[in-house]
């Protein structure tokens, strides 16, 4: 029976990936494949769906509903007021040459700064998207490539590699290992550099592929006319740059200087958007209504895939797979990072996978490995295979950007899976040499 549970688990995850890539809605696929897992694990169907699945679904909604709502509202107000277009225009002026790779690099850098500044990975895409649209439109950057850039900016180096990042993946190990957020800084910095190098090399190569096919922004051919952004940015009607930046500055100060809760910080950001940009928004009530409604689908889709992951984690097959990771042959350091990566892949969650890895693997390796090395490598390992198609942040990003797995998962895979794994290999080699 345990073997059948493992088979059902593997088949369900593979089917979820295949169906998502074929354009099936995660909202449908996640509960449907949860049923397959439940049946092959001989679990109570109704009890598990209404209990375990909905506990994961509802638990995520409880923790993130207000964050999704306020994040979406903030992004909508920034977009409709013209503030986002003003910021995009200012970025273009700084960049000078309208290079596609420069635009992607700048957008990824801004996203990374937001994430390192304390903005949740689930919210960073709401904040950057209104700025990215006009930038990508003006420079004819294929929109799917932006999905890879934003994923790279918010879910790799700034989430788990750079010393001091406040993201949950850098916090979890501290409670198990007694380390600090700056554990093994040299390894984290080198891993960040490697990730950035790989994640920038691939889009530069992929842009040439799109150009050869004559594909650009939203798969339109050729370079878009300059007046497209001018329709969005008009110095006579749009807010000035400093005023446009004010709400974002308020948000970052609230989170990083005054150390406010993320919900309070976002609320202040929304209030600042309303107050500072009031006269530039022609229909404030409509913008707020749409902003609130825009948060619903990303939240519900993500809740559904989290519910699926909760069911996966409750099966006997999953427990057997986790136990088997303790017997991976080879040096302890290598088996530790492989185990962490595999758990993150199965659960489709960097934080969830890392939490389980810390709970199950740390007792086995704590006497064999340096705690600081375990902290940094565990955190880095959790941000590799976690970004599979059933990852919650991946689902949220694609829904917010209006893209499908079929169109946009490839850029995410290379920047959020391949690049961190290459960095992890380098980090492991460093650790073996230095410690």
CA neighbours closer than 13 Å in the CB half-sphere of residue 349: 23
Neighbours of 43 (CB within 10 A): 18
| Burial of 3 from C-beta contacts in 10 A (0-12 / 13-18 / 19+) | exposed
Q: Copy the structure tokens of residue 310.
A: 């909760």
Give the model's pLDDT for residue 227.
38
pTM: 0.84
Query: For every one of its 435 residues, what pLDDT tens digit does the chain have, with 9 covering 90 and above?
Result: 678 888 998 999 999 888 888 878 888 999 999 999 999 999 999 999 999 999 989 988 998 899 889 988 988 898 888 888 888 888 878 876 668 889 999 999 999 988 887 788 878 888 888 888 888 988 889 999 999 999 999 999 999 999 988 888 898 999 899 899 899 999 999 999 999 999 889 888 899 888 888 888 875 443 333 334 444 667 778 899 899 999 989 988 887 788 888 889 889 999 999 999 988 988 888 889 988 888 888 888 888 988 998 898 889 988 888 888 777 777 888 989 999 999 989 888 888 888 888 888 888 888 888 999 999 999 999 998 999 988 888 988 998 898 889 889 999 999 999 999 999 999 999 999 987
Q: Are 245 and 94 in contact (CB under 8 A)?
A: no
Give the model's pLDDT for residue 419.
95
Give the model's pLDDT for residue 237.
80
Tell me how far apart the alpha carbons of residues 275 and 273 are, in angstroms, rounded to a whole number: 6
Q: Copy the structure tokens of residue 13.
A: 């995850």
Give the model's pLDDT for residue 297.
85
Give the model's pLDDT for residue 157.
93
Q: Are 350 and 160 in contact (CB under 8 A)?
A: yes
Give the model's pLDDT for residue 71.
87
Give the model's pLDDT for residue 294.
83
């Amino acid at each position: 029976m345990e073997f059948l549970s493992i088979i059902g688990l593997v088949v369900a995850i593979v089917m979820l990936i295949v169906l998502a890539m074929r354009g099936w809605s995660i909202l449908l696929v996640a509960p449907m494949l949860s049923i397959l897992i439940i049946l092959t694990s001989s679990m109570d169907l109704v009890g598990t769906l209404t209990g375990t699945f909905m506990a994961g679904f509802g638990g995520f909604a409880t923790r993130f509903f207000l964050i999704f709502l306020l994040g979406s509202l903030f992004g909508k107000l920034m977009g409709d007021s013209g503030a986002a277009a003003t910021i995009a225009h200012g970025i273009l002026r700084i960049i000078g040459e309208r290079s596609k790779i420069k635009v992607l690099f700048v957008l990824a850098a801004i996203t990374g700064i937001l994430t390192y500044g304390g903005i949740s990975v689930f919210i960073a895409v709401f904040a950057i998207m209104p700025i990215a649209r006009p930038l990508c439109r003006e420079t004819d950057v294929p929109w799917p490539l932006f999905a890879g850039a934003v994923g790279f900016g918010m879910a790799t180096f700034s989430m788990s590699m750079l010393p001091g990042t406040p993201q949950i993946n850098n916090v979890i190990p501290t409670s198990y290992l007694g380390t600090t957020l700056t554990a093994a800084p040299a390894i984290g910095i080198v891993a960040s550099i490697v990730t950035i190098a790989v994640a920038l090399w691939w889009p530069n190569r992929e842009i040439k592929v799109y150009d050869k096919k004559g594909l650009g922004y939203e798969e339109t051919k050729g370079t878009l006319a300059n007046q497209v952004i001018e329709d969005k940015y008009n110095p006579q009607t749009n807010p000035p740059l400093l005023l446009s930046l004010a709400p974002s500055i308020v948000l970052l100060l609230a989170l990083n200087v005054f150390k406010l809760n993320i919900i309070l910080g976002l609320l202040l950001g929304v209030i600042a958007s309303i107050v500072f940009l009031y006269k530039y928004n022609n229909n404030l009530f409509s913008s707020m209504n749409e902003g609130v409604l825009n948060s619903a689908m990303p939240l519900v889709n993500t809740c559904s895939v989290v519910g699926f992951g909760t069911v996966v984690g409750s099966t006997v097959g999953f427990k057997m797979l986790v136990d088997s990771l303790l017997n991976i042959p080879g040096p302890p350091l290598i088996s530790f990072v492989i185990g962490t990566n595999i758990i993150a892949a199965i659960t489709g969650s960097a934080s969830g996978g890392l939490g389980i890895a810390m709970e199950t693997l740390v007792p086995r390796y704590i006497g064999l490995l340096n705690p600081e090395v375990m902290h940094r490598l565990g955190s880095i390992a959790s941000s590799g295979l976690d970004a599979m198609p059933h990852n919650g942040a991946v689902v949220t990003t694609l829904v917010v950007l209006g893209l499908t797995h079929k169109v946009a998962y490839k850029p995410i895979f290379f920047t959020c899976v391949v690049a961190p794994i290459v960095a992890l290999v380098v980090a492991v080699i460093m650790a073996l040499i230095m410690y």
